[in-house]
Structure 1
Amino acid sequence: MRFYAERPIRLAAQVLCDALAIAWVTGSCWLAGLAESAVLELQAPGHRMIEAGGELRSTFADAAGTASGVPLVGDDLAGALGRGGSAGGVLVDAGVRLLEAVELAATGAAVVIVAFSLLPVLAAWFPRRVRYARAAGQAVAMRARGADLLALRALTELPHRRLKRFGTEPAAAWRAGDAEVIAQLARERLASLGLRVS
């Protein structure tokens, strides 16, 4: 496989397209990182809930410990305050779940942005580059063996309007072994890929 042309204009166009594709993917990843960071900022209420729940639980636990020393009603009062402390635990759990949900949403947003931005690259740029690399690699291998196979490839792959330049029946000329037409067809095939004749 050959990824780049030999002729300067085609080579420059390929390098530019590749650079644009890389810049697009890089920009998409940067945008995905920004989106993820923006969504993660929504975790602030969750952190405050965890902090408030912890303080509430600690306060009720301290109050229950103090209340247990009250004569006669100390145990009942401590039990009631202990149940109040469980509300702090619920608040902490809710904060943790909020943090997890926001983190999942942030990751999902980043993945969606990257996936959608990669679609044009994977649908348009990548298949064309692979097709070119295969065709150019085959053409370079054929060029080393002679013009006949390149001429045949030109007959099968070049548009009809380009083949009309070689007369009304270029296929018949190829079958007859017309060296001039074969050389022209081979040159045209190489030129269509941005490759040199030799």
Structure 2
Amino acid sequence: MRFYAERPGRMAVQLLSDLAAITWLAAFAWLAGQARSAVLELGAPGHRMVEAGGGLRSTFADAASTASGVPFVGDDLAGALQRGGSSGDVLVDAGARVLEAVDLAATSAAVVIVALALVPVLAVWLPRRIRYARAAGQAVAMRAQGPDLLALRALAELPPRRLARIGTEPAAAWRAGDAEVIAQLAELRLASLGLRVS
């Protein structure tokens, strides 16, 4: 396979096309990162819930520890305060769930943006580049074997208006073995791929 043409004009177009595809993907990767960061900022309430729950749990634990020293009712009071500390655990758990949901949403948004960027690259740019690489690679191999196969490929693949530049009946001339027409057809095929005659 040959990925780039030999003629400077066609090669420049290919390089610009590749650069545009890379820039497109890089821009959407940056956009995906920005979107993920923006969605992650929605997790601020979850962080506050985790902090508040931890603080509440710590406060009730300290209060239970202090209350245990109260004569006669200390143990009962400490037990009640420790049960109140479980509300802090509920807040921590709810905050963690919020953070998980926000993280999932942020990752999903980034993946969707990257997938949307990949659609035109995989549907248009990549197939065209692969088709060119295969065709150019075959043409270079045929060029080393002589003009006959290239001329046949030109007859099979080039539009009639381009073949008409050679003559009114290029296929008949090819069948008759007209060396001049065969050479012109081969050159036309190579030129269509941005390749040199030799």
2:107, 2:87 → 1: CA distance?
A: 30
What does 1:172-183 correspond to in 2, within 5 Å? 172-183=172-183
1:175, 1:141 → 2: CA distance?
A: 22
Query: Sequence identity, in percent?
Result: 79
1:155, 1:78 → 2: CA distance?
A: 95
1:32, 1:162 → 2: CA distance?
A: 45
In the alignment, is residue 134 of structure 1 matched against residue 134 of structure 2? Answer: yes
SS at 1:24 equivalent: helix
Where does structure 2 lack aligned partners over 5 or more consecutive residues? none
1:28, 1:65 → 2: CA distance?
A: 55
Give me the TM-score of the superposition, normalised by structure 1: 0.96
- Specify the code of the residue in structure 2 equivalent to 1:37: S
- 1:97 aligns with 97
Where does structure 1 lack aligned partners over 5 or more consecutive residues? none
1:153, 1:24 → 2: CA distance?
A: 34
Give per-residue Cα distances to partners, 1:138-194, cap 9 Å, x unaligned: 001101110000000001110122122233322221111111110110010001001
- 1:83 aligns with 83
- 1:40 aligns with 40
Q: Any runs of at least 4 consecutive aligned residues in structure 1 with deviations exceeding 3 A, and if so which?
A: none
Pairwise CA distance, 1:118: 1.2
Give me the TM-score of the superposition, normalised by structure 2: 0.96
Give per-residue Cα distances to partners, 1:75-123, cap 9 Å, x unaligned: 3222221111000001011111111111111111111111101111111
What does 1:6-21 correspond to in 2, within 5 Å? 6-21=6-21
1:58, 1:7 → 2: CA distance?
A: 75
Pairwise CA distance, 1:39: 1.2
- 2:61 aligns with 61
Pairwise CA distance, 1:30: 0.8
2:75, 2:169 → 1: CA distance?
A: 108
2:167, 2:193 → 1: CA distance?
A: 22
State which drifts further: 103-112 or 71-80. 71-80
State which drifts further: 14-23 or 70-79. 70-79
SS at 2:164 equivalent: helix
1:71, 1:129 → 2: CA distance?
A: 85
State which drifts further: 127-136 or 169-178. 169-178
Q: How many residues align?
A: 198
- 2:197 aligns with 197
- Specify the code of the residue in structure 2 equivalent to 1:63: A
Pairwise CA distance, 1:49: 1.0
Pairwise CA distance, 1:72: 3.1
What does 1:159-174 correspond to in 2, within 5 Å? 159-174=159-174
1:92, 1:149 → 2: CA distance?
A: 74
User: What is the alpha-carbon root mean square deviation over aligned residues?
Assistant: 1.1
